[in-house]
């Protein structure tokens, strides 16, 4: 396999980071998908991306399904490679996109997983606000639930992005799309305490940067770090099951709609480009309302 293959992939990852401003977490997914396909090319004695034909892609997809990958995972790999080949076409490194004709596998219709309001309260109670780490954890949980922002957006936050006076945060979203999101007094108080106490203690004298959230070494918090913190919260709380940052985002949207918010407003707050991305939460709320009705109506 030629060195041009590795060079092309490297240029693509730099393009995602510099021009598209994708998060490191998203870029890592692209890296896995491109390298997975590159390994397939090596097995099939395909020396260059320009040598790949539609028949090769069909064989690649067959091998993916033989591994019993979920349809969502296969669809992500197709999307990644389609984007990669669009980049190669743009730079005249290939003559065609063999993934352009591929039909995406039909996705399973799964409703977003979310916390009930009582479960959210249990998570907040698991944070010890008397320690620097506990203050950081509480502020992190408050801002994620109060704004519904993505974990990658949360890790990009700087001190200047937070306005405690009016209770808003400037979020740098996907595709360099910025949006302002308000937050309430609970988040306001937790962030204020963290910035003036916990964050200073965690930074110590070794570090001086403007990242809002830091780890116990005073370094900027990563997406993996956030996941570790949330896992620890679940273990300390009385809750069963798993947690992931997007579950808080799902909870944010679901609770807003359950309490009467309109779909368009939730779309703006979540930073969705299309209303269809937000409408899945209406199915969640309908399911929630039905369960509530069946549990409490005397003639259900």
Positions annotated as catalytic residues are 150, 174, 246, 249, 272, 281
Give the residue ranges of DSSP H helices in the chain: 3-18, 24-43, 54-66, 71-90, 117-125, 132-147, 151-155, 185-193, 199-203, 223-236, 245-258, 263-270, 275-296
Please list the residues that pair with 268 across neighbouring strands: none
How is 248-275 classified by DSSP, letter by letter? HHHHHHHHHHHTT--HHHHHHHHT-SSH
Task: Enter the tokens of residue 48.
Answer: 């260059």
Among candidate residues 99, 87, 94, 97, the one with its CA nearest the CA of residue 12: 87
Residue entry with tokens 């979203």: 173
Residue 181 DSSP SS3: strand
The continuous run of DSSP H or E covering 5 comes out as helix 3-18
Residue 172 DSSP SS3: strand
Residue entry with tokens 């669009």: 86
CA-to-CA distance for 111 and 128, rounded, in angstroms? 32
CA-to-CA distance for 60 and 50, rounded, in angstroms? 16
Residue 34 dihedral angles phi and psi, to the nearest 5°: -65, -45
CA-to-CA distance for 194 and 212, rounded, in angstroms? 9
The continuous run of DSSP H or E covering 31 comes out as helix 24-43
């Amino acid at each position: 396999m030629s060195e041009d293959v590795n060079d092309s992939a490297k240029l693509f990852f730099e393009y995602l980071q510099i021009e598209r401003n994708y998060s490191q977490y998203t870029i890592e997914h692209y890296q896995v998908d491109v390298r997975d396909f590159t390994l397939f090319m090596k097995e099939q004695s395909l020396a260059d991306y320009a040598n790949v034909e539609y028949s090769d892609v069909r064989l690649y997809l067959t091998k993916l399904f033989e591994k019993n990958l979920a349809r969502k995972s296969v669809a992500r790999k197709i999307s990644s490679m389609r984007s990669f080949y669009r980049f190669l076409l743009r730079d005249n490194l290939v003559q065609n996109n063999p993934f352009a004709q591929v039909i995406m596998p039909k996705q399973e219709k799964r409703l977003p997983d979310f916390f009930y309001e009582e479960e959210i309260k249990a998570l907040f109670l698991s944070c010890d606000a008397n320690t620097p780490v506990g203050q950081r954890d509480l502020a992190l949980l408050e801002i994620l639930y109060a704004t519904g922002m993505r974990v990658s957006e949360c890790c990009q936050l700087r001190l200047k992005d937070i306005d405690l006076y009016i209770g808003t945060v400037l979020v740098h979203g996907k595709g360099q799309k910025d949006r302002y999101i308000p937050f309430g007094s609970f988040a306001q108080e937790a962030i204020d305490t963290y910035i003036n106490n916990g964050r200073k203690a965690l930074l110590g004298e070794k570090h001086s940067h403007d990242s809002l959230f830091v780890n116990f070494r005073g370094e900027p918090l990563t997406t993996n770090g956030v996941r570790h913190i949330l896992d620890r919260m679940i273990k300390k709380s009385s809750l069963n099951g798993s947690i992931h940052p997007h579950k808080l985002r799902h909870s944010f949207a679901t609770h807003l709609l359950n309490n009467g918010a309109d779909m368009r407003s939730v779309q703006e707050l979540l930073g969705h480009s299309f209303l269809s991305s937000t409408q899945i939460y209406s199915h969640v709320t309908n399911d929630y309302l039905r369960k509530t009705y069946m549990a409490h109506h005397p003639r259900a």
